[in-house]
Amino acid sequence: MGTEDLRADVAIVGAGIAGSSIAWWLTRLDPTLSVVLLERDTGFGSSSSQLSASSIRQQFSTPINIQMSQFGLEFLSGARSLLAVEGEEVEIGLTLPGYLFLALPAQAEAMRAQNAIQHAHGARIELLGPEALAARFAWLNTADLALGALGAGVEGWFDGPALHSAILRSARAQGARLVRAEVSAFEFAPTAPGASPDSRRVAALHLADGRRVVCGQAVNAAGPWSRRLAAAAGIELPVHARRRTVFVLSCPTPVPGCPLVVDPAGFWFRPEGRHFIFGTTPNPDTDDLPLEPNLAEFDETAWAALAHRVPAFESVRVERAWAGYYEMNLFDHNALLGLHPGFANLWCATGFSGHGVQQAPAAGRGLAELLLYGGFRTLDLSPLSVGRLAEGRRVLESNVIG
């Protein structure tokens, strides 16, 4: 603990994968910049980035989400050397068996429409009728299905905690400083009389241990806690911490070639090593529940629905479970990126609503471009601007996995 001020060109609150990625891109694009990551728990015990299902897909319905994941895939594919530090390569175990979204007859038309959008944006997602599904996945019950959409070769999963750690490590090797501290308050520069209402300026961040971080720019990358942090600056963010439980299941019968299956009954599963992981959307879905897995979510109903889809899962056993928070943007379930309206130097990257690991490479690059150049240079992320909250402009993404 000390009272000495810290100084940085850019101070990022939260060193989860979003904050780490922003720091990585900033220090890569401008090695002279001083970047500090302020993280209250450097063990990351409750950070979503260490607790996710670590999967990546292109089956979205909005072009911007498709494009962000395409860039995410490119980044993940190159992670081995891109994130190497002092010649030590990184292994993130990327595997691409695809997501398999399943549709009942009433959902088939919507699936076809989404598929057209995906193809228009270069996402190679194959549509499979019930016969093709049965031929490809003999363990799948297709009796009630009209269609499936499979992204083999472009979608899959990886070691998310390893990716997060590698981005953070590489960002530090490029010069970003990681400081263990909790940000408790914002200090604003005095506003000159008659100044524009868009010019409110953060002068420093106050830390719970009494220190200050004097900064040129401040970024809220506090994930599920970003609403609380924003409130300290007088900003209302509709980002809520919603607990999601992931179950690790064992199954004595082989289920070969299993992709990440998203079932119309509202659950998903995929292989994880020699086991499977499974998740579903809780009902009711309450804010800020303690991060203990809710074992009741894998009840008779969930088990029966799973065994209906894959009869081999009749005999699954729950081996263990964990829980993490979705940082759920209740406005429209999509990322909130960019400069807060009314502020000259307070930015945010949050609200990823269940797809933040795969979007972190693109979000980090986009935020870095905004901070360094005042505009996007590669992918235009303006549809996800945080300004859309005030404008009432929703990004209508219909492929949200609750």
| DSSP string over 28-54 | HH-TTS-EEEEES-TT-TT-GGGTS--
Neighbouring C-beta atoms of residue 344, cutoff 10 Å: 15
Least Cβ distance, residue 352 to ligand FAD (angstroms): 4
Only segment of 22-30, 284-292, 293-301, 323-331 that touches ligand FAD (CB under 6 A): 323-331
Residue 100 and residue 259 in contact, taking contact as beta carbons nearer than 8 Å: yes
Neighbouring C-beta atoms of residue 319, cutoff 10 Å: 12
Which of 28, 40, 172, 333 touches ligand FAD by CB under 6 A? 40
> Which residue bears the tokens 């807060």?
340
Residue 10 and residue 216 in contact, taking contact as beta carbons nearer than 8 Å: yes
When asked if residue 224 is in the footprint of ligand FAD (CB under 6 A), the reply is: yes
Which of 36, 357, 381, 395 touches ligand FAD by CB under 6 A? 357
> Which residue bears the tokens 């070691």?
159
Q: What is the three-class DSSP state of 283? A: coil
Closer of 200 and 270 to ligand FAD (Cβ): 270
Element spanning 197, H or E: none
Only segment of 90-98, 110-118, 320-328, 364-372 that touches ligand FAD (CB under 6 A): 320-328
When asked if residue 44 is in the footprint of ligand FAD (CB under 6 A), the reply is: yes
Site string for ligand FAD, 230-259 (x = CB under 6 A): --------------x-x-------------
The span from the CA of 39 to the CA of 140, in Å, is: 44
Only segment of 74-82, 191-199, 290-298, 348-356 that touches ligand FAD (CB under 6 A): 348-356
Only segment of 44-52, 109-117, 280-288, 391-399 that touches ligand FAD (CB under 6 A): 44-52
Q: What angle do CA 379, 66, 229 make, to 5 degrees?
A: 70
When asked if residue 14 is in the footprint of ligand FAD (CB under 6 A), the reply is: yes
Helices (H), 123-252: 130-136, 160-173, 226-232
Closer of 229 and 384 to ligand FAD (Cβ): 229
Q: What is the three-class DSSP state of 16? A: coil
Nearest to 20 by CA among 152, 195, 163: 163
When asked if residue 59 is in the footprint of ligand FAD (CB under 6 A), the reply is: no
Closer of 148 and 324 to ligand FAD (Cβ): 324
Closer of 22 and 145 to ligand FAD (Cβ): 22
Q: How many binding residues for ligand FAD (CB under 6 A)?
A: 41
Which of 18, 90, 178, 389 touches ligand FAD by CB under 6 A? 18
Token output for 198: 């868009």
Closer of 146 and 381 to ligand FAD (Cβ): 381
What radius of gyration, in Å, describes the C-alpha atoms of the chain?
A: 22
Which of 26, 33, 133, 183 touches ligand FAD by CB under 6 A? 183
The span from the CA of 311 to the CA of 143, in Å, is: 12
When asked if residue 62 is in the footprint of ligand FAD (CB under 6 A), the reply is: no
Neighbouring C-beta atoms of residue 366, cutoff 10 Å: 28
Only segment of 82-90, 91-99, 219-227, 372-380 that touches ligand FAD (CB under 6 A): 219-227
Residues that bind ligand FAD (CB under 6 A): 13-19, 38-41, 44, 47-49, 51-55, 182-183, 221-225, 229, 244, 246, 324-327, 350, 352, 354-358
